[in-house]
C-alpha cells in the first residue's frame, strides 16, 4: 500500500475529507503519512472551493499514534535543523497542522486516538466521538 492510499483525500460538496487508511497498523502515522497530511492541509487552506474539512479513519482505532517501526528518513536531521531556524509561529504551524486551517475542521472519532493523532483531534474545531472513542498520551507514562 502506498502512502497516498494510507491517507485518502476527497472533495465532496465543498468539503475536504481526509481519511486515515493505514488499518493494518491501526492508522499508526509514518513520516511519509505526516508529509501527505501536511500536503492535504495546504490544499484545503489554499482551495477557495473547500469551505470545511473532515478528518476521519478506516479502522477499528482512530490511530495508534506514531509508527515507531517506521525508519526515520535520512533527511530527519536536516528537517530538525530547519525547524530550529523557523520563527515560533512557523514552527507551531508545521507541528500542529490543523491549527493552521482557517476553515472549520470536524473530526469523527471512533476507537483510540493516541499520541500525535490525539493532538490532531484536539486541534480540530468540532469533535464527534463514538462511544468507543478514547484519547491517550504515551509520553505521560514515562519519567
Domains of the chain by residue range: 3-141
> CA-to-CA distance for 90 and 131, rounded, in angstroms?
36
**Helix or strand holding residue 54 (H, E):** strand 52-57
Centre a 10 Å sphere on the Cβ of residue 57 and count the other Cβ atoms it contains: 25
For helices 76-85 and 88-95, give the axis angle rounded to 10 degrees: 140
Residue 9 burial (CB < 10 Å; 0-12/13-18/19+)?
middle
| 78 sits in which H/E element | helix 76-85
Q: Measured between alpha carbons, how far is residue 35 from residues 73, 78, 133 in Å? A: 12, 15, 26
Instruction: Provide the grid cell at 99.
Output: 491549527
Q: Is pLDDT larger for residue 117 or for residue 1?
A: 117
Q: What is the pLDDT of residues 78-123, one digit of tens each?
A: 666 655 555 444 434 445 688 889 999 999 999 999 988 898 999 9
pLDDT for residue 12:
97
Q: Which helix (H) or strand (E) holds 107?
A: strand 105-109
* CATH number corresponding to 3-141: 3.90.226.10
Residue 139 phi/psi, 5-degree rounding, is -65, -25
Q: Is the pTM of this model over 0.85?
A: no
Q: How confident is the model at residue 14 (pLDDT cuts 50, 70, 90)?
A: very high
Q: Are 111 and 132 in contact (CB under 8 A)?
A: yes
Amino acid at each position: 500500500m502506498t502512502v497516498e492510499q494510507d491517507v485518502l483525500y476527497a472533495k465532496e460538496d465543498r468539503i475536504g475529507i481526509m481519511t486515515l487508511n493505514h488499518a493494518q497498523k491501526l492508522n499508526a502515522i509514518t513520516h511519509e503519512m505526516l508529509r501527505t497530511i501536511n500536503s492535504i492541509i495546504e490544499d484545503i487552506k489554499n482551495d477557495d472551493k473547500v469551505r470545511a474539512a473532515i478528518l476521519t479513519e478506516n479502522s477499528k482505532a482512530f490511530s495508534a499514534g506514531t509508527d515507531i517501526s517506521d525508519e526515520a528518513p535520512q533527511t530527519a536531521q536536516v528537517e530538525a535543523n530547519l525547524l530550529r531556524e523557523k520563527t515560533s509561529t512557523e514552527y507551531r504551524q508545521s507541528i500542529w497542522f490543523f491549527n493552521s486551517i482557517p476553515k472549520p475542521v470536524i473530526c469523527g472519532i471512533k476507537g483510540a486516538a493516541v499520541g500525535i493523532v490525539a493532538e490532531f483531534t484536539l486541534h480540530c474545531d468540532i469533535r464527534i466521538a463514538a462511544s468507543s472513542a478514547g484519547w491517550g498520551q504515551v509520553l505521560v507514562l514515562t519519567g
